[in-house]
A and B are shown apart, each in its own frame.
Chain A
Amino acid sequence: MNDPIFAVRAVHFAATAMTVGVMAFLVLVAGPAFRAAGADLAASEYRRRAVRIAAIGLAAAVVSGAAWVMLEAAKMSGRPLRDAIAEGVLRTVLTRTTFGLASDIRLVLAVLLGVSLSYFGSRLWARWAAPLLAAGLLGALAWTGHAAATERLAGHLHVVADALHLLAAGTWLGSLVALAMLLATARRRADRTWDHIARIATLRFSTLGIVGVLILLGTGTVNTWMLAGSLPALLGTDYGRLLLIKIALFGAMLSVAAVNRLRLTPRLSQPLSGAPGNARRQLIRNSALEIGLGLIIFVIVGALGTLPPALHTQPNWPLPFRVSAEIFDHPELGPRVLTAIGMTALGMALAVSGLFWRKLRWVMILGGAAVVAYFGRGLGDMLTEAYPTSFYASPTGYTTASIARGRHLFAQHCSSCHGPTGRGDGPAAVPARVKPSDLVSGHIYAHTVGDLYWWITQGIGGAMPGFARVIDEDSVWNLIDFLYANIDGTRLGAFAGTARRIAYPAPSFSLRCPDGAALASDALRGRVIHVVVSGANGTEQIARLSERARAADVVTILVAQDAAPPPDPAFCVADDANLAQVLAIYRGRDQIEGTELLIDQAGALRALWHPGVRSPRWTDPESFRREVETMRRTPAVQRSATHLHR
């Protein structure tokens, strides 16, 4: 917030918006209003003053824009402002970055706009060119912000939404300045022609306003989705909360605009003496109020652009509860919650329709309220306890290094109570008042990673101490990765040899392929991956690997157990010492010779096999191919506490 870019951005956005809005108002509102009243806009004093305001806005936009580029150059290069300007950084920014190129284009537009403004009164082309150039100047701001960095189709949509949003906001706010000026002039002149102009201009302005508001609502929704994207992000981050304040201010502006449109504008055309004059005075005052609210919004916009979007910071959930998505899969509670939602909605609909039906009004309202009161209680089942960290996301990327480190930390800090494999049977568990949680029983799947983070760092009542002072933040995430690998392993092991319909996330590991390329396993998405640890009967297993890979169309990755070179240069080799440790977690033992894994096209771990499994025998190419085919055909669902037994 103490970033000077924030202030410069606010000034630049407001100044550019004013220029665009005044131009739009002259062309779309004032021009037709003057014509309808039989007056000539081009020759009027009002036109001269409005163009002067637009020119001042443009000058302010150019100066603040230049300051913004220089500050940005310093920030991008991480150097002090003076060095950044002196040492060619500015040139690199202007010629080599998206922000710089957008700024170049905008400077050209600004110069052309300046020329058009100076000919605005005398040349027809200037009257067309100026508003278009102004719109370009404002819309192109979309390329300087968060939207420019969004990828692919979403990126194009985001840029379009952002540009439209800027144009609608600028047109609305800037036009308000021009409208207030026009109404003030009308009050001063106090003649029939100006009364007429003021009335038509106000009417046309409200149409412009409604279109603008609709565009703002639509594009604002898209932008919010792109940059915040979820309720936790909106409620739990600085970015999200600032965005909510901005939306609330927009709501306030909208209410003022509604008063203008619904109460004051009709009174402008009432022939009763005094009414139009009063209405006009109030309209001027309300416009000033809206402009004030709009300026606060620009300050917020200035700040928002300098903050990381809500999607990229850990949200601190402010409520003690959250809606549980799990509940809808629950065999008993699921239908009950759905009934409660349906009946509550029905009850509310009944009560609301009562308002419009005089005869049965009270019967319907009371009946509706009774239905809501009776079924509404069932909605409570939908909620589950939540903590400030409930919606944290793990930063580890679920790598083998993280899981292996978590395994080590678990042995060190957790196994004395939870047991070496997490079954809640450690030596310290016997005397404990509260039995330590069984970490492979499946309830882990019912919680968010953020819930686990909270319990590990803060502890659970009198049952478990918090470890926030014992281990650092990274270690907590490593532990959580281990907990998942550990429980996933018990599930995969119990159904060894068979592809599951549940998607266990595959850990990310590094590998090297025969062409020498270093890869992360995630780069193989789209192919089925077959991970193989060469076994005691290694030669036989390896000998048929090529045949199996061909039969089932899979990418085979050999796990190098020791420093020996890969037995067959035709396969990729997992050059990752941590992978063996993760496989040991899955197997629940350190001897992992002959273990095989299948990872599906979507990157989900679906099946584990080891030489102890007699049927199906994956070493037989035909059985193996059948298993892979079954896996390819059956889609997998997210793992959850309620469908453990599929």
Chain B
Amino acid sequence: MRSLGAVALLAMLVLGSIGAHAHSVFLRASPGVGSTVRTPPREVVLWFNQKLEPSFSTVAVTDAGGGRVDAGGVRVDGNVMRVSLRPIGAGTYGVTWRALSVDTHTTQGAFHFHVRP
């Protein structure tokens, strides 16, 4: 029992400093949410706070007219999800994503970014 207590105490100390999470929360993106970039990006990258299931996580990037500008084929590596873009010009683009975390919970969201050379 003593060692159990020690483990529990250790766990509390470690966890307190790590700051635990258990859900795939969207952290940030490149291009950033609502941001304006000068150079047209070649890909959209999304960062989450934890591991994603590659099989059911998706990203779609559309232009102002609703046409798809991503090249398809989302790549998931741990907690990062990325999709390549076809050559795009100035304008406003919408990113819609759906992320399945390994705890089986789905989160989704959408944001815009602007390209203004």
List chain A positions with a Cβ less than 8 A from chain B: 72, 75-78, 92-93, 96-99, 144-154, 157-158, 161, 214-215, 218-219, 221-222, 225-227, 229, 308-309, 311-312, 396-397, 399-402, 405, 508-510, 512, 518-520, 522, 560, 563, 575-578
Contacts and interface: CB of A to CB of B under 8 A. Distances in A.
Given A226-B22, A400-B32, A577-B116, A563 B38 contact: yes
A401 B36 CA distance: 7
B62 interface: no
B35 A150 contact: no
Interface in B55-104: 55-56, 79, 98, 100-104
B24 A149 contact: yes
A522 B28 contact: yes
B104 A144 contact: yes
Contact of B103 (A148, A214, A405, A560): A148
B106 A78 contact: yes
Interface residues of B, number: 54
Contacts, number: 169
B103 A149 contact: yes
Contacts of B4: 214-215, 218
Contact of A309 (B12, B23, B56): B23
A423 to B, nearest CB: 27
Interface in B35-58: 35-39, 41-43, 45, 47, 49-51, 53-56
Contact of B34 (A144, A161, A399): A399
Nearest to B35: A401
A154 B18 contact: yes
Given A92-B55, A147-B22, A154 B14 contact: yes
Given A226-B20, A312-B23, A75 B37 contact: no
B8 A518 contact: no
Contact of A518 (B11, B14, B22, B43): B43
Given A96-B53, A149-B22, A399-B32, A75 B15 contact: no
22 contacts: A78-B98, A92-B56, A97-B102, A144-B104, A146-B23, A150-B22, A153-B14, A225-B20, A309-B23, A311-B22, A397-B27, A397-B32, A401-B33, A401-B34, A401-B35, A401-B36, A509-B32, A510-B31, A510-B35, A520-B29, A575-B38, A577-B37
Nearest to A396: B33
A146 B103 contact: yes
Main SS of the interface on chain A? helix
B92 to A, nearest CB: 13
A40 B90 CA distance: 84
User: Nearest 10 pairs between A and B by C-beta?
Assistant: A149-B103, A577-B36, A146-B22, A401-B34, A401-B35, A218-B8, A98-B102, A312-B23, A96-B55, A226-B20
A315 to B, nearest CB: 14
Contacts of A221: 8, 12
B22 A158 contact: yes
B21 A312 contact: yes
Nearest to A402: B34
A229 B35 contact: no
Contact of B32 (A72, A148, A150, A576): A576
Contacts of A510: 30-32, 35, 37
Contacts of B5: 218
B97 to A, nearest CB: 13
Contacts of A149: 21-24, 50-51, 101-103, 105
Contacts of B42: 518
A512 B43 CA distance: 12
Q: Quick one: which of B12, B19, B23, B27 has the most chain A CB within 10 A?
A: B23
Contact of B28 (A215, A508, A560, A577): A508
B72 to A, nearest CB: 17
B75 to A, nearest CB: 14
Given A222-B8, A225-B16, 13 more contacts: A92-B56, A98-B53, A146-B23, A148-B103, A149-B22, A161-B11, A214-B1, A222-B15, A308-B105, A312-B25, A399-B33, A401-B32, A508-B28
B34 A518 contact: no
A576 B117 contact: no
